[in-house]
Structure 1
């Protein structure tokens, strides 16, 4: 059986009239292309080319083989397009929803890998404050949405048509101003040691963080400043300026744009799970491919970023 790569090399020489010009077209060096052609001649058991000072021409056997080679290569190209159509990834669109932290730190590398694998799929990204992304998936506004839930927290109802696939679990950690006494140790901090600490409180009425804020209040952390919505970049900037301490997801702490100290909390009780929401009964090859890419990029669901 003839190697398709060598058949393509022979066709290129027939069209270019020269091994050098064919090598340029195919991205080979002339010696490398000559080696491929020599192997093809050994497979054929006869000379396929006659070299001359102006280039190369086909022998009679070469003419016969080139005619069949073009048919073979055309069929292989048709097969490639048929398989691509079968996967549904030769075109179409993938609409994604995200929340700010994931949009900045998780989504870009995943989308970059997806674009390299499926360059013909049109991509769009929209911001949704969880759990609004789940609602957008249920309504058909987006195909997938990155969302999050906190623990402890009351379960948030999920529309019947939507499933949540966990992507990443991360602990919540304490952030402090640089040099703060609580942020200078590497050991896990007992929650009880937050008693009396000025806490930058992140919206105790906000559904996602309500139970977290209640637990911090129970151990005696003193609300010193209220941020009405969990805008973590602002919270870290306020912490960095010495206005209080805060409890934020580890990813937020590690990627803060202002200098902060970070310390893990004892027990690992406070966590955030990042999930991808999708419509369970809908066949969407692009969405399925992106979900598979997320699984590969961030490991098995449930893996924590905490130490």
Structure 2
């Protein structure tokens, strides 16, 4: 019988492509996570990981066990959800933090499903622009928080006592005014083609996005600061009005209230990972049930994120 904690460690490395990143997400030190993985390799009787200069990749045996591990972990989450339903969750309170995009486009149907199943649980939702939601979970202001991380960007360590579980990975795409020449064509647009374009900043002082803007600047597309805001609806409105182009998550582009041209970029290395942050090891049926619903809605992600 494989230990579930070690299976979760293997799945995290498979998703993040790095022991260091997986450890930061799970709330371990890298050496502690490596020890868990070494024990799992002894249990499996096979090498599961190969380290290389860019991170860690799974062997064929590691890929097989990670795939089975995801199913085991998903079944365990379903069991927790069903047990919580049997228990009735007949009272209590669940406090959820979210950033604007997730709060508008992702969270409402999940909270609606939770309310239908557990109408006696009091729900509250508060807005936290990442990474402030992570600190709110750590200090107990909320029980769960949706947060995000961008690539490329410097990884920020989670506060002590919290863990992050990825829910959704999406590419960042170019958005333009309708009919803009850069939106023409069906193939990926080389990032160098953005050189000289007025690029509306997502927020030059916003730490999660500074790495992305630095990568764009390295391609010759230095952001033009038309406004400073983490609110994508404003960015998209300015783009739609022809004041510049921008690079935003594909979900934002797809759900924009204003008309946009959209083009994928090459290389496709810029992306955003949406995760749910929680306090592991604390029994909380309501929080566990909502996490299971989030996971069921968006599924486990593969690849780095």
Query: Normalised by the size of structure 1, how large is the TM-score?
Result: 0.69
Q: CA deviation at 1:91?
A: 1.0
Shift of the 195–292 alpha-carbon distance from structure 1 to 2, 3 Å rule, reads: same
Residue equivalent to 1:122: 122
Residue deviations 1:181-222 (CA, integer Å, cap 9, x gap): 111222111101111111112223321111111111111114
Determine which structure has greater relative contact order: mean sequence separation of CA pairs < 8 Å that are 6+ residues apart, divided by chain length: 2
Shift of the 85–181 alpha-carbon distance from structure 1 to 2, 3 Å rule, reads: closer
Shift of the 222–163 alpha-carbon distance from structure 1 to 2, 3 Å rule, reads: closer
Residue equivalent to 2:274: 274
Residue equivalent to 1:212: 212
Residue equivalent to 1:225: 225
State the alpha-carbon separation in 1 of the partners of residues 293 and 301 from structure 2.
Answer: 13
Q: CA deviation at 1:273?
A: 0.3
Query: Normalised by the size of structure 2, how large is the TM-score?
Result: 0.70
Kindly report which structure 2 residues correspond to 1:108-147, keeping only aligned pairs within 5 A, or say none.
108-147=108-147
Check conservation: 2:166, 2:274, Cα contact below 8 A.
Answer: yes
Q: CA deviation at 1:90?
A: 1.1
State the alpha-carbon separation in 2 of the partners of residues 272 and 89 from structure 1.
Answer: 33
Structure 1 residue matching 2:96: 3-state secondary structure: strand
CA RMSD of aligned residues (A): 1.7
Check conservation: 1:168, 1:274, Cα contact below 8 A.
Answer: yes
State the alpha-carbon separation in 1 of the partners of residues 134 and 101 from structure 2.
Answer: 16
Residue equivalent to 1:23: none
Check conservation: 1:99, 1:146, Cα contact below 8 A.
Answer: yes
Check conservation: 2:85, 2:117, Cα contact below 8 A.
Answer: no
Residue equivalent to 1:258: 258
Consecutive unaligned residues of structure 2, counting only runs of 5 or more, are 1-82
Residue equivalent to 2:170: 170
Structure 2 residue matching 1:202: 3-state secondary structure: coil
Residue equivalent to 1:8: none
State the alpha-carbon separation in 2 of the partners of residues 216 and 101 from structure 1.
Answer: 22
Check conservation: 1:239, 1:246, Cα contact below 8 A.
Answer: yes
Consecutive unaligned residues of structure 1, counting only runs of 5 or more, are 1-82
State the alpha-carbon separation in 1 of the partners of residues 190 and 175 from structure 2.
Answer: 14
